[in-house]
């Protein structure tokens, strides 16, 4: 059943249910009210008759002549609480010995048991007391109860009729309202269904116009859908670019390898160690590329296995700089390592890979005779140091490590892209230097896997500064 039908049925069901409940409650309370009023009036009448009859007895000392008095009162009854006079009222008065002294003409003088319905009357007699003595009884027969039954039936009929009419009207209004409302609600849903079908068929450019027609929820759903398709499109774009990039990166070494092998096969060049060496270089390059890609994919998926230990980054950085001694001396660089490092929890191999990459880049991009500054300091992470929602906890205490060079710098427009896979500011130079263009992407993902962040600031002609932020050891689990 469609959502629309379900909603309309639910609305109609609610109206019927409410009408039945309201009708039942009003019928019940009307009946109660009626019964209470009837017994109240009945009691009032009895009290009136009782005091009139006792007064009569008191004045006359006997029941002599009571019949004419009763008939007179019956034909001209005093009004009870100014209410309307009641017709068809009948009364029997009996002396203390149950002999009828007033009532129907033919019953006068008869004992109560000889009167039709006498036994029934006897069970419902009201005693008349004078001077603490029972001087007689009376039985009042009013058709109030019969009339109240009739009234109650009439009330039930009219309330039921009113209930049915109002139910029919409310149902009509509810149905109309349901149709209008569900149309407003389901229209955007139809759009959404169509859009989801389109996305399912691969059309990732599908977007929905979020409006307020279907209410805030549908608007939020449309916005979430648009966000989802935008992200899917972005991932698809990344995927296809990555495939193209990988194909491009593989082409050069494969071309070199196949060209050299063909020449050897055809006997153009001999199969000597010198001719095989470039093939081996390309194989090493390929192997490195595949390893880097695998690590990057793992890190991006958050599945990079980390073997955590307490790491002294100061020592690690000194060791790496030491490893680059030849390159530093060749370029006559000044290296300065300053500041105080504190222990952190990290995977020494992964972190070594990160700092090797950053220091190697800095040395490569430094001018000959230039300088390289590495600085350690502690501080709180702030928003500007993170762009990754996974690690977005501003205010956390951690260790900053900056690696600054005075090289050619990175153009402002390239800064946001330097962490992208295969991105090189100068592609021809990058490839000649042997870089895969994955170094910074891997470094950033590795640092993120440690809960940290890697950022860069740079000015063309002045140099670049890469900043690593890592959580301090004691903060790691907090
Ligand atoms: P590669 O392996 O090619 O060096 P990276 O991912 O390490 O790749 O670096 C990406 C690009 O960022 C490099 O090609 C280079 O253009 C630029 N780059 C990285 N570090 C620096 C730096 N210290 N100074 C200037 N440019 C840099």
Do 45 and 97 lie in one domain? The reply is yes
Do 332 and 286 lie in one domain? The reply is no
Do 462 and 313 lie in one domain? The reply is yes
Q: Among 400, 324, 416, 397, which Cα is nearest to 362's?
A: 324
Mean pLDDT of the 35-57 span: 87
CB neighbours of residue 269 within 10 Å: 14
Take atom 11 of ligand 1 and give the residue whose Cα is closest: 424
Report if residue 18 sits inside a domain: yes
* Residue 365 Cα to ligand 1 middle (Å): 8
Take atom 19 of ligand 1 and give the residue whose Cα is closest: 361
CA distance 121 to 446: 105
Counting beta carbons within 10 angstroms of the beta carbon of residue 401, is it exposed (0 to 12), middle (13 to 18) or buried (19 or more)? buried
* Residue 396 Cα to ligand 1 middle (Å): 29
- pLDDT band at residue 392 under the 50/70/90 scheme: low
Do 431 and 450 lie in one domain? The reply is yes
Range with lowest mean pLDDT among 200-214, 317-331, 344-358: 200-214
Q: How much is the pLDDT for 297?
A: 87
* Residue 362 Cα to ligand 1 middle (Å): 8
Instruction: Name the residue of 333, 361, 412, 431 whose CB sits within 8 Å of the most ligand 1 atoms, as the mutation to test its pocket.
Output: 361
- CATH number for position 350: 3.30.565.10
* Residue 424 Cα to ligand 1 middle (Å): 6
Q: How much is the pLDDT for 328?
A: 95
Take atom 18 of ligand 1 and give the residue whose Cα is closest: 361
Q: Among 387, 420, 418, 411, which Cα is nearest to 237's?
A: 420
User: What DSSP string describes 99-150?
Assistant: BEEESSGGGTT-BGGGSTTHHHHHTT-EEEEETTEEEEEEEEE-THHHHHHH
Out of 125, 147, 169, a domain closes at 147
Mean pLDDT of the 197-201 span: 91
User: Pairing relation of β-strands 334-339 and 371-380?
Assistant: parallel
Q: Between 411 and 159, whose confidence is greater?
A: 411
Shortest-distance atom of ligand 1 to CA 405: 23
Range with lowest mean pLDDT among 204-208, 333-337, 348-352, 395-399: 395-399
466: pLDDT strictly greater than 70: yes
- pLDDT band at residue 372 under the 50/70/90 scheme: very high
Q: How much is the pLDDT for 242?
A: 82
Unique residue bearing structure tokens 């880097």: 292
Percent of the chain with pLDDT over 90: 40
Take atom 23 of ligand 1 and give the residue whose Cα is closest: 362
Do 279 and 334 lie in one domain? The reply is no
Q: CA distances (Å), 367 to each of 321, 325, 327, 420, in order?
A: 17, 16, 12, 25
Do 287 and 324 lie in one domain? The reply is no
Q: How much is the pLDDT for 84?
A: 46
Strand partners, 380: 397
Report if residue 80 sits inside a domain: yes
Do 127 and 226 lie in one domain? The reply is no
Report if residue 110 sits inside a domain: yes
- CATH number for position 24: 3.30.450
Q: Between 79 and 322, whose confidence is greater?
A: 322
Do 317 and 464 lie in one domain? The reply is yes
Task: Extract long-range pairs of 47-54: CB within 8 Å, 24+ residues apart.
Answer: 48/78, 48/80, 49/91, 49/126, 49/138, 49/140, 50/126, 50/128, 50/138, 53/93, 53/128, 53/136, 53/138, 54/128, 54/129, 54/130, 54/135
Residues 220-274: tens digit of each pLDDT? 888 899 999 999 998 888 888 888 888 888 888 899 899 999 999 998 888 888 8
Mean pLDDT of the 320-328 span: 95
- pLDDT band at residue 162 under the 50/70/90 scheme: confident
Out of 130, 147, 164, a domain closes at 147
* Residue 361 Cα to ligand 1 middle (Å): 6
Report if residue 194 sits inside a domain: no
Q: Between 320 and 143, whose confidence is greater?
A: 320
Percent of the chain with pLDDT over 70: 89
Out of 147, 175, 205, a domain closes at 147
Specify the 3-state DSSP secondary structure of 268.
coil
**Beta strands across the sheet bearing 133-141:** 100-102, 90-95, 133-141, 126-130
188: pLDDT strictly greater than 80: no
CA distance 239 to 57: 115
Take atom 14 of ligand 1 and give the residue whose Cα is closest: 424
Domains held by the chain: number: 3
- pLDDT band at residue 191 under the 50/70/90 scheme: confident
Do 58 and 39 lie in one domain? The reply is yes
| SS3 per-residue string spanning 450-473 | CCCEEEEEEECCCEEEEEEEEECH
CB 292, CB 438: distance < 8 Å: yes
Instruction: Name the residue of 373, 414, 424 whose CB sits within 8 Å of the most ligand 1 atoms, as the mutation to test its pocket.
Output: 424
Mean pLDDT of the 104-128 span: 89
Report if residue 167 sits inside a domain: no
Do 37 and 53 lie in one domain? The reply is yes
Shortest-distance atom of ligand 1 to CA 419: 6
99: pLDDT strictly greater than 90: yes
144: pLDDT strictly greater than 70: no
Report if residue 180 sits inside a domain: no
* Residue 129 Cα to ligand 1 middle (Å): 121
Work out the mean pLDDT of the chain and round it to a whole number.
85
Do 380 and 249 lie in one domain? The reply is no
Range of the domain at 253: 215-298
Q: How much is the pLDDT for 477?
A: 45
Q: How much is the pLDDT for 458?
A: 95
Specify the 3-state DSSP secondary structure of 318.
helix
Sign of CA dihedral 195, 200, 206, 212: positive
Q: Which distant-in-sequence residues (6+ apart) come within 8 Å of 88 by Cβ?
A: 142, 143
Mean pLDDT of the 423-438 span: 68
∠ CA 209-214-220, rounded to 5°: 60
Do 293 and 333 lie in one domain? The reply is no
State both tokens at 439.
């170094």
Residues 258-272: tens digit of each pLDDT? 999 999 999 888 888
Take atom 16 of ligand 1 and give the residue whose Cα is closest: 425
Q: Which distant-in-sequence residues (6+ apart) come within 8 Å of 337 by Cβ?
A: 314, 317, 318, 321, 374, 375
CB 207, CB 226: distance < 8 Å: yes
Q: Ligand 1 site: residues with CB under 6 angstroms?
A: 357, 361-362, 365, 405, 407, 410, 418, 423-426, 430, 435-441, 464
102: pLDDT strictly greater than 50: yes
Report if residue 183 sits inside a domain: no
Mean pLDDT of the 383-407 span: 73
CB 438, CB 296: distance < 8 Å: yes
The pTM of the full predicted model, rounded to 2 decimals, is 0.59
* Residue 368 Cα to ligand 1 middle (Å): 17
Report if residue 388 sits inside a domain: yes
Instruction: Name the residue of 324, 402, 425, 461 whose CB sits within 8 Å of the most ligand 1 atoms, as the mutation to test its pocket.
Output: 425
- CATH number for position 288: 1.10.287.130
Residues 403-421: tens digit of each pLDDT? 999 999 999 999 988 998 8
């Amino acid at each position: 059943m469609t959502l629309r039908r379900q909603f309309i049925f639910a609305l109609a069901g609610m109206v019927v249910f409410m009408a039945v409940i309201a009708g039942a409650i009003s019928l019940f309370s009307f009946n109660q009210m009626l019964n209470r009023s009837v017994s109240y009036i009945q009691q009032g009448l009895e009290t009136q008759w009782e005091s009139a009859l006792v007064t009569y007895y008191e004045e006359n000392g006997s029941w002599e002549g009571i019949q004419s008095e009763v008939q007179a009162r019956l034909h001209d009854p005093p009004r009870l609480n100014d209410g309307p006079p009641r017709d068809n009222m009948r009364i029997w008065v009996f002396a203390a010995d149950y002999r009828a002294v007033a009532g129907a003409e033919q019953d006068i003088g008869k004992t109560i048991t000889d009167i039709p319905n006498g036994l029934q009357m006897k069970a419902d007699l009201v005693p008349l007391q004078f001077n603490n003595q029972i001087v007689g009884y009376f039985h009042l027969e009013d058709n109030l109860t019969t009339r109240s039954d009739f009234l109650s039936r009439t009330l039930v009929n009219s309330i039921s009729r009113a209930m049915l009419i109002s139910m029919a009207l409310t149902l009509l209004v509810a149905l109309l309202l349901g149709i209008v409302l569900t149309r407003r609600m389901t229209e955007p849903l139809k759009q959404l269904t169509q859009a989801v079908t389109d996305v399912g068929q691969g059309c990732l450019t599908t977007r929905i116009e979020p409006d307020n027609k279907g209410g805030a929820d549908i608007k939020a759903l449309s916005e979430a859908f648009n966000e989802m398709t935008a992200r899917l499109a972005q991932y698809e774009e990344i995927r296809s670019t990555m495939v193209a990039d990988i194909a491009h990166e593989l082409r050069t070494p494969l071309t070199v390898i196949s060209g050299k092998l063909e020449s050897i096969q055809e006997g153009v060049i001999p199969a000597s160690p010198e001719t095989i060496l470039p093939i081996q270089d390309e194989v090493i390059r390929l192997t490195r590329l595949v390893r880097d890609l695998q690590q990057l994919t793992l890190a991006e998926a958050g599945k990079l296995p980390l073997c955590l230990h307490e790491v002294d980054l100061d020592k690690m950085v000194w060791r790496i700089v030491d490893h680059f001694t030849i390159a530093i001396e060749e370029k006559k660089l000044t290296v300065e390592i300053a500041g105080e490092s504190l222990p952190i929890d990290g995977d020494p191999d992964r972190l070594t890979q990160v700092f090797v990459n950053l220091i190697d880049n800095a040395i490569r991009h430094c001018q000959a005779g230039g300088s390289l500054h590495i600085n350690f300091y502690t501080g709180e992470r702030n928003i500007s140091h993170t762009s990754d929602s996974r690690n977005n906890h501003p205010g956390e205490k951690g260790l900053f490590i900056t690696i600054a060079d005075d090289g050619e710098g990175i153009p402002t427009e390239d800064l946001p892209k330097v962490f992208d896979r295969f991105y090189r500011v100068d592609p021809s130079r990058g490839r000649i230097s042997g870089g895969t263009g994955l170094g910074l992407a891997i470094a950033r993902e590795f640092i993120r896997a440690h809960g940290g962040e890697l950022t860069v600031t740079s000015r063309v002609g002045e140099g670049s500064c890469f900043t690593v932020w890592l959580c301090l050891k004691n903060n790691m689990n907090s």
